[in-house]
Amino acid sequence: MGLFQRGPARIRLDGAVVLVTGGARGIGARTACAAGDRGAHVWIGDLDPDLAERAATGAQCRRLDVTDPASWQSLVDEIVRVHGRIDVLVNNAGVMPTGSLIAQPLAEIDLTLDVNVRGVLLGMRAVLPTMIAARRGHIVNVASMAGELPLPGMVTYNASKYAALGASLAARREYEAAGIAVCAILPAAVRTELSSGADLGGTLPTVDPEQVADAILHTLRSRAAQTSVPQWVSPAWRVADLLTPEPLMRLARGVADDDQALRINANAGRRGYLDRIADQTRAHAEPGIRESGIAESDISASGIAE
Q: Which of 157, 162, 175, 273 is catalytic?
A: 157
Residue 162 falls in the annotated catalytic set: no
CA distance 87 to 251: 46
H helix intervals, the chain: 26-37, 49-55, 69-83, 106-113, 119-134, 155-175, 209-222, 233-243, 246-255, 271-285
CA proximity to 193, closest of 28, 26, 45? 26
- To 10 degrees, what angle do helices 119-134 and 69-83 make? 30
CA distance 181 to 166: 15
Nearest 5°: phi and psi at 181? -100, 130
Q: Which residues are catalytic?
A: 157
